[in-house]
Copies of this chain bind each other. A is one copy, B any other.
Protein backbone atom coordinates (compact mmCIF):
# COMPACT_ATOMS: atom_id res chain seq x y z
CA UNK A 1 0.00 0.00 0.00
CA UNK A 2 0.84 3.62 -0.12
CA UNK A 3 4.27 4.34 -1.41
CA UNK A 4 6.02 1.43 0.17
CA UNK A 5 9.30 1.04 -1.67
CA UNK A 6 9.10 -2.73 -1.66
CA UNK A 7 12.26 -3.51 -3.65
CA UNK A 8 12.87 -7.18 -3.11
CA UNK A 9 16.31 -8.39 -2.24
CA UNK A 10 18.26 -9.64 -5.21
CA UNK A 11 21.08 -12.08 -5.36
CA UNK A 12 24.47 -12.08 -6.91
CA UNK A 13 26.55 -15.20 -7.36
CA UNK A 14 30.25 -14.42 -7.16
CA UNK A 15 32.66 -16.89 -8.64
CA UNK A 16 36.02 -15.42 -7.76
CA UNK A 17 36.20 -11.72 -8.14
CA UNK A 18 33.92 -12.04 -11.15
CA UNK A 19 30.15 -12.11 -11.08
CA UNK A 20 29.01 -15.39 -12.59
CA UNK A 21 25.34 -14.53 -12.38
CA UNK A 22 23.39 -11.56 -11.11
CA UNK A 23 20.22 -9.57 -11.67
CA UNK A 24 21.49 -7.80 -14.79
CA UNK A 25 22.75 -10.93 -16.47
CA UNK A 26 19.61 -12.85 -15.63
CA UNK A 27 17.47 -10.11 -17.17
CA UNK A 28 19.67 -10.16 -20.24
CA UNK A 29 19.18 -13.89 -20.62
CA UNK A 30 15.44 -13.37 -20.39
CA UNK A 31 15.57 -10.72 -23.09
CA UNK A 32 17.66 -12.92 -25.38
CA UNK A 33 15.24 -15.80 -24.93
CA UNK A 34 12.36 -13.47 -25.70
CA UNK A 35 13.81 -11.65 -28.70
CA UNK A 36 16.07 -14.33 -30.17
CA UNK A 37 18.89 -11.87 -30.63
CA UNK A 38 21.65 -10.27 -28.60
CA UNK A 39 21.29 -6.94 -30.36
CA UNK A 40 17.52 -6.83 -29.96
CA UNK A 41 17.88 -7.73 -26.30
CA UNK A 42 20.47 -4.98 -25.85
CA UNK A 43 18.24 -2.37 -27.48
CA UNK A 44 15.31 -3.47 -25.39
CA UNK A 45 17.34 -3.14 -22.21
CA UNK A 46 18.89 0.15 -23.22
CA UNK A 47 22.46 -1.05 -23.22
CA UNK A 48 25.06 -1.09 -25.96
CA UNK A 49 25.45 -4.20 -28.09
CA UNK A 50 29.07 -4.37 -27.03
CA UNK A 51 28.17 -4.48 -23.36
CA UNK A 52 25.55 -7.15 -23.92
CA UNK A 53 27.98 -9.23 -25.95
CA UNK A 54 30.67 -8.92 -23.27
CA UNK A 55 28.21 -10.09 -20.63
CA UNK A 56 27.20 -13.08 -22.74
CA UNK A 57 30.84 -13.87 -23.39
CA UNK A 58 31.65 -13.68 -19.68
CA UNK A 59 28.76 -15.99 -18.83
CA UNK A 60 29.66 -18.51 -21.48
CA UNK A 61 33.20 -18.51 -20.09
CA UNK A 62 32.14 -18.79 -16.45
CA UNK A 63 30.00 -21.88 -16.87
CA UNK A 64 30.99 -25.35 -17.92
CA UNK A 65 28.85 -25.05 -21.03
CA UNK A 66 27.69 -21.97 -22.93
CA UNK A 67 24.39 -20.47 -21.79
CA UNK A 68 23.82 -18.69 -25.08
CA UNK A 69 24.25 -20.06 -28.59
CA UNK A 70 24.65 -17.56 -31.41
CA UNK A 71 24.93 -17.76 -35.18
CA UNK A 72 25.73 -15.15 -37.80
CA UNK A 73 24.30 -14.81 -41.24
CA UNK A 74 21.26 -16.62 -42.51
CA UNK A 75 17.63 -15.76 -42.05
CA UNK A 76 17.28 -12.40 -40.37
CA UNK A 77 21.05 -11.98 -40.31
CA UNK A 78 21.56 -14.42 -37.52
CA UNK A 79 20.45 -14.66 -33.93
CA UNK A 80 21.02 -16.03 -30.49
CA UNK A 81 19.06 -18.23 -28.15
CA UNK A 82 19.44 -19.91 -24.80
CA UNK A 83 20.89 -23.37 -24.76
CA UNK A 84 19.12 -25.99 -22.68
CA UNK A 85 21.96 -25.59 -20.22
CA UNK A 86 21.42 -21.84 -20.18
CA UNK A 87 17.70 -22.18 -19.61
CA UNK A 88 18.37 -24.46 -16.68
CA UNK A 89 20.94 -22.11 -15.15
CA UNK A 90 18.54 -19.19 -15.45
CA UNK A 91 15.70 -21.21 -13.98
CA UNK A 92 17.81 -22.29 -11.03
CA UNK A 93 18.96 -18.73 -10.41
CA UNK A 94 15.41 -17.40 -10.46
CA UNK A 95 14.37 -20.09 -8.03
CA UNK A 96 17.18 -19.10 -5.68
CA UNK A 97 16.12 -15.46 -5.89
CA UNK A 98 12.58 -16.42 -5.06
CA UNK A 99 13.54 -18.59 -2.13
CA UNK A 100 15.87 -15.95 -0.73
CA UNK A 101 13.08 -13.43 -1.03
CA UNK A 102 10.75 -15.66 0.93
CA UNK A 103 13.29 -16.62 3.55
CA UNK A 104 14.44 -13.06 4.22
CA UNK A 105 11.20 -11.14 3.76
CA UNK A 106 10.58 -10.41 7.42
CA UNK A 107 14.17 -9.65 8.32
CA UNK A 108 14.47 -7.46 5.26
CA UNK A 109 11.45 -5.45 6.30
CA UNK A 110 12.94 -4.88 9.73
CA UNK A 111 16.34 -4.02 8.34
CA UNK A 112 14.84 -1.58 5.87
CA UNK A 113 13.34 0.36 8.72
CA UNK A 114 16.85 1.22 9.82
CA UNK A 115 17.67 2.77 6.46
CA UNK A 116 17.21 6.39 5.65
CA UNK A 117 14.40 7.24 3.27
CA UNK A 118 16.89 7.37 0.43
CA UNK A 119 15.26 10.26 -1.36
CA UNK A 120 15.68 13.77 -0.04
CA UNK A 121 19.42 13.65 -0.25
CA UNK A 122 21.10 16.97 0.56
CA UNK A 123 23.39 17.19 -2.47
CA UNK A 124 25.28 14.02 -3.23
A-side interface residues toward B, CB under 8 Å? Answer: 5, 7, 9-16, 18, 20, 23, 61-65, 85, 88-89, 92-93, 95-96, 99-100, 103-104, 107-108, 110-112, 114-116, 118
17 contacts between A and B (CB under 8 A): A10-B13, A11-B13, A11-B14, A13-B108, A13-B111, A15-B112, A15-B115, A16-B118, A61-B116, A62-B116, A63-B116, A89-B114, A92-B110, A93-B111, A96-B108, A99-B103, A100-B104
Taking CB atoms, residues of chain B closer than 8 Å to A115 are 15-16, 20, 62-64
Q: Are B9 and A11 in contact (CB under 8 A)?
A: no
CA distance A99 to B13 in the complex (A): 12
Cβ A111 vs Cβ B99 within 8 A: no
Report B-chain residues with C-beta under 8 Å of the C-beta of A23.
Answer: 14
Residues on B with beta carbons closer than 8 Å to the beta carbon of A95: 107
How many Å lie between the Cα of A18 and that of B12 in the bound state?
A: 12
B104 touches A96 (CB 8 A): yes
Cβ of A112: which chain B residues have Cβ within 8 Å of it?
A: 15
